Amino acid sequence: MTDPRHGPDRPLAGNADPTAQQPHFSKGEETHPVTGYGRPGQGYQPPPPQFVPAPTGPDKAGLIAAGVVGSVVLLAAGVVIGVIIAGGGSEPRPAADAASSSTPARPSPIPTTTPPPAAAPGTYSMNGIADACDLVDPSPLHKWSSAPDRAPYHHETPPTDDRPGRLSCQFTYKSQSGDGVHWNQAAIDLEVEFTAAGAAPAYDEWKHEDTTGPGANSGEVTEIGSQGYWHTATSDSSDTTGLDYVVGVQDDNVSLRVRIPVLRQHGEPPVNPDELGVIARNQARQTLDGLKRR
């Protein structure tokens, strides 16, 4: 399934997170992945753990011997240092006597730690969101396809000093077409990014990507958040027809994008873009409500 904005080789867009299980559409028996919508490289890739093997054989024995010798040397050095601190005489004084004959010791300062910087203030927060898919209602998709194509995917990146936090979720469904051979498919994809203090919202880049270029079909969404847009793309092949509906919204310290792609085999009832638009807008409202600070 391709995006007509970018020619036949550009697949319709999906989730930005490269670690995600991408929704895919099938053409006949061949499976076509739906590629990323946003900026590449945003997915979190944890570094592999580093393991240091324990020494064995002769090397292990050598290390143990070296450790014993080192312990003896450190013990002797500690005795010498204790004698010097006690006064340097030939008969070391107990530590209690040394302390009583010197000036009163000043109390040690209480160690302090610098608290981490506070998150940028705003109306919305991902606190308490353990699963981004808790914010998504995929049931309206069952009108077109109702059998899960795969397990729901979700990813949460908590806020850090470098990033203010982000969320993503995908549901994908399939249903057999009327010929009993091919498959129809539908998906819903939610992407959420919080805005750091002083930074431009992700919404700005999303809107530029989605609404510019030849053949772009888009408009403003005025009833949700501070600003918003909608965008549609269609595709048609010898076997299938695809419709892709996107709603992007920005409000205060959060940007979100809802994308609903639907693929139908030829001969199936067509999909009304207005129906997808209602679902996408309702999902945007539901997401904003779920992210409000309580």
**Domain parsing of the chain, residue ranges:** 60-101, 122-291
* Mean residue pLDDT across the chain: 73
pLDDT(164) > 80: yes
Q: Is 227:203 a contact under the CB 8 Å cutoff?
A: yes
Element (H, E) at 172: strand 166-176
Which residues have C-beta within 8 Å of that of residue 91, sequence separation ≥ 6?
A: none
Cα dihedral: 270, 276, 279, 281 (round 10): -170
- In the predicted model, what is the mean pLDDT of residues 123-144? 96
- In the predicted model, what is the mean pLDDT of residues 192-220? 92
Kindly indicate the confidence band of residue 108, based on its pLDDT and cuts at 50, 70 and 90: low
Main-chain dihedrals φ then ψ at residue 21, nearest 5 degrees: -80, 105
pLDDT at 130: 96
Cα(11)–Cα(187) distance, integer angstroms? 15
pLDDT(110) > 50: yes
CATH code matching the domain that covers 122-291, chosen among 2.60.40, 3.30.70, 3.40.1000, 1.10.3210: 3.40.1000
- In the predicted model, what is the mean pLDDT of residues 277-290? 98
Cα(104)–Cα(73) distance, integer angstroms? 32
Most confident of 62-66, 77-81, 259-263: 259-263
Half-sphere exposure of 48 (CA within 13 A, CB side): 2
How does 35-45 read in b/e, with b if 16+ C-beta sit within 10 Å?
bbbbeeebbee
Three-state DSSP class for 134? helix
Lowest model confidence (mean pLDDT) among 57-66, 130-139, 178-187, 240-249: 57-66
Which residue is it, tokens 């930005």?
A: 16
Lowest model confidence (mean pLDDT) among 7-21, 197-211, 212-226: 7-21
Is pLDDT larger for residue 256 or for residue 5? 256
Is pLDDT larger for residue 38 or for residue 231? 231
pLDDT(106) > 70: no
Kindly indicate the confidence band of residue 113, based on its pLDDT and cuts at 50, 70 and 90: low
* Nearest of 173, 171, 194 to residue 185 by alpha carbon: 173
Lowest model confidence (mean pLDDT) among 37-41, 55-59, 100-104, 222-226: 37-41
pLDDT at 2: 39
pLDDT at 120: 53
pLDDT(166) > 70: yes
Kindly indicate the confidence band of residue 107, based on its pLDDT and cuts at 50, 70 and 90: low
- In the predicted model, what is the mean pLDDT of residues 215-238? 93
* Nearest of 206, 244, 223, 230 to residue 288 by alpha carbon: 223
Percentage of the chain surpassing pLDDT 70?
59
